[in-house]
Amino acid sequence: MLAMLFRRLGLGAITVWLVSVIIFLGVEMLPGDACTAFLEREAKGKLLENCREDLGLNRPALMRYTEWAKGAVQGDLGVSAKGQKPISELVGYRLRNTLLLASGAILAGIPLALFLGVVSALWRDRPVDIVVSTLAIFAMTIPEFVSATLLILVFSVWLGWVPGIVLTPANAPLVEFFPEVLLPITVLTLVMTAHILRTVRSSVIEALASDYAQMARLKGVPYWQMVFRHVLPNALLPAINVIALTIAWLLGGVVVIETVFNYPGLGRMMIDSISDRDLPVTQAIALIIATVYVGVNLAADILTLLANPRLRTMHIRKG
């Protein structure tokens, strides 16, 4: 188990490194650089030269990458190309804001999804299941920028209950994000609930039809006891992976939602830094997102192992 953990950690580190190389190459391949992006049509002559000199852009790409990587390994993410501010400071607040958004959606969405998923599976093909499943399909398939715009129209323009756009600066205390953060959380909750509840529903239905559930019922175990003791613990295992993926998606900065709501999180910062060709910031964010993905998936696998006795003892029995 421990050996597996180390192997997975090693693989994770390699993944993160590969991501940083790919991002670097990707941004390098885009037309223009930080200076042409900033100067636009004034990007010529001395102004351009000075700018490239200031940002060290006239050195070879490989040299810039190794320098950046050396710093990153030592925990120094470098300085933002344009603002000349330490990146850790810039990214820190954005990461915190994205965490706020994500945890709001997770706290609201996961219990809701589990509850609705189980309910619609137990009352399969009954009115409650039909309503929940139909709504879920809608929530999944309507693009989030459309549902976001609709919610803004209804709740902030027509009803005037909550502000439509987030105007709080990135480094404001967390409390100041209320109530502005409620609408983006609602949209995220809609999307993720739909995804998770559909997985939960199908795996509960599968478990209900399984041999052990049939056996329990034949033995005369009361229906609800069978559901809680035998069906749910088995059915919810596959949900762990879907939940992990969703959490990783949320923590990675939900670009579209953050842009529509003007939310100062990681996703919007990523977009801005790419259009500014601000390579150090782009790299730092990519690194964070990659680490989150690797970490959350690893955690999900470990959880699954712990929850499933057969997988947990497989190595021991073999040995």
The binding site for other proteins (CB under 8 A) comprises 30-32, 36-47, 50, 80, 82-83, 85, 90, 149, 152-153, 156-157, 160, 163-165, 167-172, 259-262, 264, 268, 272, 275-278
The label of the residue with tokens 């739909």 reads: 194
Asked whether the bond before 179 is cis by omega within 30 degrees of 0, the reply is yes
The smaller minimum CB distance to other proteins, of residues 43 and 108, is found at 43
**Residue 40: CB minimum distance to other proteins, A:** 5
**Residue 58: CB minimum distance to other proteins, A:** 15
The smaller minimum CB distance to other proteins, of residues 156 and 304, is found at 156
The smaller minimum CB distance to other proteins, of residues 213 and 257, is found at 257
**Residue 202: CB minimum distance to other proteins, A:** 36
**Residue 72: CB minimum distance to other proteins, A:** 20
**Residue 161: CB minimum distance to other proteins, A:** 10
Q: Which amino acid is at 211?
A: D
The smaller minimum CB distance to other proteins, of residues 102 and 148, is found at 148
The smaller minimum CB distance to other proteins, of residues 50 and 66, is found at 50
